[in-house]
Structure 1
Amino acid sequence: MIFSKILIPVDASRHSESAVNYGSALAEISEAKVILLHCHRPIPTGLGEPNFQKAIDDATRDSYAILEKHTSMLKAKNIEFDEKIIGGSTAKSIKAVAETEGCDLIVMGSKGKSDLEGLVVGSVTHKVLHIAPCPVLVIK
């Protein structure tokens, strides 16, 4: 199967690194564009100024640092990519970006929780599997 856009949600975990490795290999084979996404926690609006702006700046800086860790590999392989940073519910954000960008595939890491643990703990991967608008490849 050939893909045109692959969404790879990332965080600072080694599981994300594995997802980027697999996703970039698929992108190379398919000549697909990669959308690299980091979702940070929502910023409470009740913080007031200047605390609210500082929280946004900190979240943005931390998010770019996480993305930068993965973009160097994509650049080295000459893979076309975009970076996106969104705050809010991670699973819903992944779904929204996949829909908006018209992604054919989502590649994401998993910490290896069982179905029961995923339901109880509410793992992001487990949620995405159920709401994604396209196939999801889960990398352990």
Structure 2
Amino acid sequence: MIFNKILIPVDDSKHSESAVSYGASLAEMSGGKLIILHCHRPVPTGLGEPNFQKAIDDATRESYAILKQKTAILKDKAVDYEEKIIGGSTAKSIKTVAETEGCDLIIMGSKGKSDLEGLVVGSVTHKVLHIAESPVLVIK
């Protein structure tokens, strides 16, 4: 199967490192492009200035640090990728980016929660599995 665009949402976990490594291998085999996405929490608009801008700057700085860490895995890989940062509801943002970018596949790391725990805790991977239009590959 050929994947033209693979979306890999990342956070600061080891599980998302595994997703990036696996996605890089798939992209190399199929000649596809990776989109490495970090979703940060929404920044409340009622903070007022300068607090609102500081919160945005902090979220952006943290997001770039996470992306830098994850894309370091791709340094020696022959794969095309781009980085994206978005704020908002994580699962909905992942779904939106996958649809907007026309992704063939979403690869996500799993923290190993059971179905019941995923429902109770509200795991992002669990939510994306249920709302995404494109296939989702979960990596442990």
Shift of 1:76: 2.1
1:116 is matched with which residue? 116
CA distance in 2, matches of 1:133, 1:53: 34
**Which 5+ residue runs of structure 2 have no aligned equivalent?**
none
CA distance in 2, matches of 1:61, 1:120: 31
Is the partner of 1:56 in helix, strand or coil? Answer: helix
Determine the structure 1 residue equivalent to 2:90.
90
How does the TM-score come out when normalised to structure 1?
Answer: 0.98
Deviation at 1:78, TM superposition (A): 2.7
In structure 1, what is the equivalent of residue 126 of structure 2? Answer: 126
When normalised by structure 2's length, the TM-score is 0.98
SS at match of 1:3: coil
2:116, 2:73 → 1: CA distance? 34
Deviation of residue 79 (structure 1)? 1.1
Give 1:69's aligned amino acid. Q
Aligned partner letter, 1:38 = H
Name the CA distance, whole Å, in 2 between partners of 1:91 and 1:32: 23
SS in structure 1 at match of 2:75: helix
Equivalent in the alignment of 2:23: 23
Contact in 2 for aligned 1:108/1:136 (Cα 8 Å)? yes
Unaligned runs of 5+ in 1: none
Residue-by-residue CA offset, 1:42-75 (whole Å, 9 max, x unaligned): 1010110000000000100000000001112223
Counterpart residue number, 2:106: 106
